[in-house]
């Protein structure tokens, strides 16, 4: 039996660490930037206060703590609540079988996170998608192009200030877009409580 | 006057060296081949821009997004229940499994995932496994057809037709099922359905055996797939591959075993995994998974308990219509559910389910109320396709169809 388990191999139950222990270890390593773990529905979330260090935190998590699988990378538009952009990293380790979520935010002026595509190659496409949908750049990304929309499309459709119906655009000989016919729309719904009149102001962005 | 003149005849070695040089110029030109978006082997609307050196691929650039509909944007603008029909259109070869995965994610957010009635959980497992068989039958059939074995496709489609009949009896629709509800199911099993499923189980076992006989030791099929498109264990993990593609690369990881949801921990099944990570291994994994799914269906049918299929909570599941018409409280519940949706707490959850194509995950970030603030769909096909630009170079152009077929992707969920 080798002492170090091969990547992707499950560790024995005795040597396995729980997600809480792993979160603590990460917190110890990056005392100044990593927050205490918040738990909700059995999932642990760590906030990284300095976005410029997220790549180092991720590299340490992968290389020293066995988080070899980046399940998902996504971004959130916080709209009027500064800082505007939040990146969310879902990590998993095949060896210890634990999930961990990292979150970090940057302001609208910066709009840039360090890339983690050098840590996990799967992040390459996830970051391209985040760039395509939200317009957030990833510094050091080897190939930051649009991925779902076409090259030359002028907007970032997942931003909260982009209307659901879409906006007109045209790239000659490539593609064009027209607002979708929404009867009486655009039905822009605001998250949160309140009745449907409060949640669904018919035109939230009049210039639409 | 004696003069020396150099003749440009040279020996045979020099002549061939010169010929080589001339050829070098011709060979230096690389050809760009555009494959897709409408090509039978790209199973939908994947486009590959291939740079060819003769017949060898030197660079591959997958272009996706031709089926992008903005599902995540749409989800932010409607209640949790209203989004269920959109999940049908992600992996449209296994809509039932998508419905279940999405419902489980929202239920996790609501904190009712451990309150689901047993019967509901068993029926959901039946849905997932039926969807898995259906998706793998199509995946295998299309894969075999791409590498030249037409017959298998016809066999597997006959069986898929039976699955569609079962799904139609169960949900009222053959394709866009929208079967689950948050906290339960849209309806219980119809009368006599379990007997039909038992009958189908017997028939599909025979059909899987036939496909097995046609392919597994078929010299042409083996030659086209063995040692083609090899993905090592490290690459598979690094590129975020999941599902049969990951297991084909010698990673024994199945969410149903590693992090059991529903009643998978009470059922007995094996997780097949490959050794080499080539197209043939991925094929073998899918073949065995179908057999395991048939066994899971049999176990569920044997254990299927009675009782309700919905959570007993008027704030989550629509109340009985009779009660709505006769009782004030139920009327209010119905009104609130329809106009505002389930009142979710603020918070964020991620739930991943083992779908036929891999890990389908939903990340829901809620600020409270009936609408998600952000809903991200972690689509397995998206991650599975990202490895193409790494794996394709060095292969012959005819191997592309074998590799694409073995990765078994669906653009509906890749592009969302």
**pLDDT (tens digit per residue) in B122-140:** 999 999 999 999 999 998 9
Q: Residue B31: inside a domain, yes or no?
A: no
Q: Which of B238, B259, B372 sits opposite A120 (nearest CB)?
A: B238
Residue reference for tokens 């603590």: A24
B247, B372 Cβ separation under 8 angstroms: no
Question: Which of A43, A74, A76, A166 is the best residue to mutate to test the B interface, defined by the most B CB atoms within 10 Å of its own CB?
Answer: A74
Provide the token pair at B22.
Answer: 């001339």
Instruction: Tell me the three state secondary structure of residue B173.
Output: coil
- pLDDT tens figures, A161-203: 887 777 888 888 888 888 777 665 545 556 555 555 565 554 4
The model scores a pTM over 0.80: yes
- Cα dihedral A74/A78/A84/A86 (nearest 10): -30
Q: Residue B25: inside a domain, yes or no?
A: no
For residue B374, the chain A residues in CB contact (below 8 A) are 74, 76-77
For residue A190, the chain B residues in CB contact (below 8 A) are 371
**Fold (topology level) of A19-139:** Beta Polymerase; domain 2 (3.30.460)
> Residue B360: which domain range?
63-415
- pLDDT tens figures, A68-109: 899 999 999 988 788 889 999 999 998 888 899 999 999 888
Residue B8, pLDDT score: 59
Residue B366 contacts A where some CB pair is shorter than 8 Å: yes
Q: Residue B37: inside a domain, yes or no?
A: no
Contacting residues for A108 by C-beta, under 8 A, at least 6 apart: A82, A83, A84, A85
CATH number of the domain to which B207 belongs: 1.10.645.10
| Beta bridge pairs of residue B63 | B47
- Segment (H or E) for B181: strand B180-181
Q: Which of A6, A88, A133 sits opposite B363 (nearest CB)?
A: A88
- The CB-based long-range contact list for A159-167 (8 Å cut-off, 24+ gap) reads A159/A77, A159/A134, A159/A135, A160/A77, A160/A79, A161/A79, A161/A205, A162/B73, A163/A188, A163/A204, A163/A205, A163/A208, A164/A188, A164/B73, A164/B74, A164/B77, A165/A208, A167/A208
Question: Which of A5, A6, A7, A8 is the best residue to mutate to test the B interface, defined by the most B CB atoms within 10 Å of its own CB?
Answer: A8
The beta strands (E) that lie in B278-357 are given as: 344-355
Residue B95, pLDDT score: 92
Sign of CA dihedral A179, A185, A186, A187: negative
Which has the closest alpha carbon to B127: B82, B74, B188?
Answer: B188
Instruction: Tell me the three state secondary structure of residue B25.
Output: helix
For residue A158, the chain B residues in CB contact (below 8 A) are 70, 72-73
Distance, CA of A81 to CA of A191 (rounded, Å): 14
- pLDDT tens figures, B258-308: 889 889 989 999 999 988 889 999 999 999 999 999 999 999 999 999 888
> How many helices (H) and strands (E) would you count in chain A?
4, 9
Residue A11, pLDDT score: 60
| Beta bridge pairs of residue A44 | A39
- pLDDT tens figures, A123-176: 999 999 999 999 899 988 998 888 998 888 888 988 888 877 778 888 888 888
Mean pLDDT of A38-66: 87
Give the side-chain half-sphere CA count within 13 A for A101. Answer: 25
Residue A208, pLDDT score: 41
- How many domains does chain B fold into? 1
Angle at alpha carbon of residue A63, lines to A71 and A42, rounded to 5° = 45
B38, B46 Cβ separation under 8 angstroms: no
Q: Which residue of B has its CA nearest to A119?
A: B238
Which has the closest alpha carbon to A193: B192, B79, B165, B63?
Answer: B79
Q: Residue B212: inside a domain, yes or no?
A: yes
β-bridge pairing B358-369 and B47-53: unpaired
Distance, CA of B222 to CA of A46 (rounded, Å): 48
Distance, CA of A178 to CA of A155 (rounded, Å): 13
Residue A155 contacts B where some CB pair is shorter than 8 Å: no
Domain ranges (residues) in chain A: 19-139, 164-208
Angle, in degrees to the nearest 10, between helices B150-171 and B118-146: 160
Residue B355, pLDDT score: 92
| Beta bridge pairs of residue A75 | A87
Distance, CA of B283 to CA of B156 (rounded, Å): 14
Q: Residue B39: inside a domain, yes or no?
A: no
For residue A148, the chain B residues in CB contact (below 8 A) are 64-65, 68, 415-416
Distance of CA A124 to the CA centre of its chain: 12
Residue B128, pLDDT score: 93
Residue A39, pLDDT score: 83
- Segment (H or E) for A198: helix A196-199
Contacting residues for B260 by C-beta, under 8 A, at least 6 apart: none
Distance, CA of B334 to CA of B318 (rounded, Å): 6
Q: Which of B72, B233, B258 sits opposite A7 (nearest CB)?
A: B233
Buried b / exposed e across B296-328, counting CB within 10 Å, b at 16+? bbbbbeeeeeeeebbbeebebbbbeeeebeeee
DSSP letters spanning B235-275: HHHHTT--THHHHHTT----HHHHS--TTGGGS-------S
Residue A79 contacts B where some CB pair is shorter than 8 Å: no
β-bridge pairing A99-106 and A112-114: unpaired
Distance of CA B366 to the CA centre of its chain: 27
Q: Residue B92: inside a domain, yes or no?
A: yes
Distance, CA of A5 to CA of A25 (rounded, Å): 20
For residue A7, the chain B residues in CB contact (below 8 A) are 233-234, 237
Provide the token pair at A61.
Answer: 């998590």
Distance, CA of B44 to CA of B310 (rounded, Å): 36
Residue A195, pLDDT score: 59
Q: Residue B204: inside a domain, yes or no?
A: yes
* pLDDT beneath 50: ranges in chain B: none
Residue reference for tokens 């978006």: B37
Task: Provide φ and ψ at A44, rounded to 5°.
Answer: -100, 135
Q: Do A187 and B72 touch (CB under 8 A)?
A: no
Instruction: Tell me the three state secondary structure of residue B354.
Output: strand
């Amino acid at each position: 039996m080798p002492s170090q388990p091969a990547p992707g191999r499950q560790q024995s139950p005795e040597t396995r660490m729980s997600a809480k222990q792993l979160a603590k270890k990460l917190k110890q390593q990056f005392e100044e930037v990593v927050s205490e773990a918040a738990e909700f529905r059995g999932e642990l979330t760590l906030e990284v206060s300095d976005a410029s260090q997220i790549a180092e935190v991720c590299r340490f998590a992968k290389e020293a703590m066995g988080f070899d699988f980046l399940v998902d990378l996504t971004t959130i538009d916080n709209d009027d609540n500064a800082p505007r952009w939040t990146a969310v990293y879902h990590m998993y380790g095949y060896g210890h079988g634990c999930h961990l979520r990292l979150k970090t935010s940057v302001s609208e002026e910066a709009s840039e996170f360090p890339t983690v595509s050098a840590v996990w190659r799967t992040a390459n496409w996830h970051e391209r998608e985040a760039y395509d949908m939200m317009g957030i750049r990833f510094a050091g990304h080897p190939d930051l192009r649009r991925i779902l929309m076409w090259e030359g499309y002028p907007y970032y459709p997942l931003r909260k200030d982009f209307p659901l119906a879409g906006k007109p655009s045209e790239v000659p000989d490539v593609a064009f877009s027209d607002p979708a016919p929404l009867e009486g729309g655009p039905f822009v719904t605001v998250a949160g409580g309140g009745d449907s009149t409060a949640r669904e102001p018919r035109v939230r962005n009049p210039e639409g | 006057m004696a003069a020396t003149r150099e003749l440009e005849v040279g020996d045979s070695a020099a002549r061939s060296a010169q010929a080589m040089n001339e050829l070098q110029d011709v060979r230096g030109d690389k050809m760009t081949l555009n494959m897709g978006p409408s090509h039978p082997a790209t199973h939908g609307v994947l486009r590959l821009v291939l740079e060819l050196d003769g017949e060898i691929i030197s660079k591959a650039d997958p272009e996706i997004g031709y089926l992008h509909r903005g599902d995540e944007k749409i989800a932010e603008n409607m209640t949790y229940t209203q989004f269920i029909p959109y999940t049908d259109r992600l992996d449209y070869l296994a809509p039932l499994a998508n419905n279940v995965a999405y419902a489980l994610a929202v239920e996790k957010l609501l904190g009712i995932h451990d309150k689901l009635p047993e019967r509901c959980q068993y029926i959901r497992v039946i849905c997932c496994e039926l969807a898995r068989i259906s998706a793998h039958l199509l995946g295998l059939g299309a894969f075999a057809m791409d590498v030249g074995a037409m017959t298998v496709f016809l066999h597997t489609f006959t069986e898929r037709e039976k699955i569609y009949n079962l799904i139609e009896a169960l949900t009222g629709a053959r394709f866009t099922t929208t079967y689950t509800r948050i906290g339960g199911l849209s309806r219980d099993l119809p009368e006599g359905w379990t007997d039909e499923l038992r009958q189908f189980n017997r028939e599909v076992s025979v059909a899987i055996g036939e496909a097995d006989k046609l392919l597994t030791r078929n010299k042409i099929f083996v030659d086209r797939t063995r040692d083609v498109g090899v993905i090592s264990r490290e690459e598979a993990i690094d590129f975020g591959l999941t599902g049969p593609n990951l297991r084909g690369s010698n990673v024994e990881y199945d969410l149903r075993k590693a992090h059991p949801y529903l009643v998978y921990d009470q059922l007995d099944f094996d997780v097949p995994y490959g050794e080499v990570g080539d197209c043939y291994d991925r094929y073998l994994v899918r073949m065995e998974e179908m057999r395991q799914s048939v066994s899971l269906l049999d176990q569920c049918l044997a254990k299927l308990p009675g009782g309700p299929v919905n959570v007993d909570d008027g704030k989550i599941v629509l109340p009985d219509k009779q009660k709505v018409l006769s009782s004030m409280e139920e009327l209010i519940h119905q009104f609130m559910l329809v106009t505002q949706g389930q009142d979710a707490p603020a918070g964020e959850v991620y739930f991943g389910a083992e779908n036929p194509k891999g890990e389908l995950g939903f990340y829901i970030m809620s600020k409270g109320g009936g609408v998600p603030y952000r809903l991200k769909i972690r689509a397995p096909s998206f991650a599975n396709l990202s490895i193409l630009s790494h794996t394709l170079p060095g292969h012959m152009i005819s191997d592309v169809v074998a590799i694409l077929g073995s990765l078994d992707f669906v653009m509906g969920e890749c592009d969302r």
